[in-house]
Amino acid sequence: MMGLTEMYSFEELTNEAERLVISELGRYLEEENQLDAVSEDLILDMAAYALNHVRPMYRVNLLGRLYADTLMEEHGEEIRSAVRQAVAKIL
């Protein structure tokens, strides 16, 4: 029996929270003049920590892509808070 991944393409399934967290993390670290001071491992740890503290925001189609642009407006404080916590915890 074939599994779903062999039967269907899941490439369009995207967690927009990941894009928003990474963008906010970069913005925050740059604002704090810490972007060049941290290693790739620390950046990945911070992103993972923050992502584990925000709700996933999956989308899959064109309508989802259009809706994704409003997610930062709706969930911005949750994302900013998770990023600040991640930086404080990891650094």
pTM for this predicted structure? 0.85
Residue 59 to residues 14, 62, 67, 78: CA-CA distances in angstroms? 5, 9, 9, 19
Helix or strand (DSSP H, E) at 77: helix 71-90
**pLDDT per residue rounded down to tens, the chain (91 residues):** 789 989 998 888 889 999 999 999 999 999 999 989 899 999 999 999 999 999 998 888 766 666 766 888 889 999 999 999 999 999 9
